[in-house]
Amino acid sequence: MVAKPKSQPKTPSYKNGKLAKNIRNQLFYNDDQRRLTKLVTGLNFDFFIMSIILLDAVIIGFLASGTTGFYFSNGLFLLDRLFMGIFIVEMLLKIYALKKKFFTSGWNIFDLTIVAVSSIPMASSFIVLRTFRLFRLLKYIHHFSKMHNIIEVFISLLPTFVSFLGIFTVFFYVFAIIAMSLYGDVFGSFATLGSSMFTLLQVFTLDGWASTIARPIMLVFPHAWLFFSSVVVFSFLLVVSFITSAILQIMDMKK
């Protein structure tokens, strides 16, 4: 008895065609996404956005000055809204192209926050909210080596400055209480803790402290010069200590 040859399984053409179509669509999708990713992360795109931010800065300056005419101001406002639209499209393109990677970059989150804050409806009435967009220029500093070095030094000195600010606050708090206890009953500039600290801040900046603050008090309290001289000397030592610490830190960075 002759065995019948086994029939070959029929390949469903519909499923094969659908699979090929899915693969082709996926390839085209990946290719388009790669192109879009290359576009939004490219140098030319960065310079384009940076130029828009600079133009927007000029427009915000004109709008804040209030020296433009009615029709000119309306035109500037429309340009400002156009630039805002460009920034929103930029964020959407980057989120679409980078997916989850977008949120792994601190600069991207910074950009998204700035654009979101400046695009809320009330931002149209408050120029301060719109000026937040100008801070986005900090993201593109890395394209300019000299500016990038300045930002790096600034960021590295922030912990030192915070430490200095803490010591400075304690120092002024103590001296403000002393001044309020000694002169607060007679001179209104030392009547409260807040006014006393603000007056000592003026002494710290040496802004007319001798003629407008110290000398009038010395007419009533002749020995007040000891107090104000102590404030000036201690303030000077604090500033010198901070500058010395900053210089040493910068020198360590360059080693």
Other Cβ atoms closer than 10 A to 74: 11
pLDDT for position 166: 92
Percent of the residues in the chain that have a pLDDT greater than 70, as a whole number: 81
How would you class 32 by CB atoms within 10 Å of its CB: exposed for 0-12, middle for 13-18, buried for 19 or more? Answer: exposed
pLDDT for position 61: 81
Confidence of residue 30 (pLDDT cuts 50, 70, 90): low
Across 1-5, 77-81, 167-171, least confident range: 1-5
pLDDT in tens, 33-81: 788 888 888 888 888 888 888 888 888 888 777 666 666 778 887 888 8
DSSP 67: -
Give the CATH number of domain 146-254.
1.10.287.70
pLDDT for position 18: 58
| pLDDT at 24 exceeding the cut of 70 | no
**Any residues with CB less than 8 A from the CB of 130 and at least 6 apart, and which?**
60, 80, 118, 123, 124
Do 201 and 172 touch, CB atoms closer than 8 A? yes
| pLDDT at 172 exceeding the cut of 80 | yes
Question: Between 149 and 204, whose confidence is greater?
Answer: 204
| pLDDT at 27 exceeding the cut of 90 | no
- For CA atoms 107, 113, 115, 117, give the dihedral sign: negative
**Regarding the domain delimited by 23-141, which CATH topology (the fold level of the hierarchy) does it fall under?**
Four Helix Bundle (Hemerythrin (Met), subunit A) (1.20.120)
pLDDT for position 41: 83
- Is 146-254 in the same CATH topology as 23-141? no
Q: What average pLDDT score do residues 128-139 get?
A: 72
Question: Structural domain boundaries of the chain?
Answer: 23-141, 146-254
pLDDT for position 126: 56
Most confident of 29-38, 94-103, 126-135: 94-103
Across 21-25, 84-88, 174-178, least confident range: 21-25
DSSP 221: -
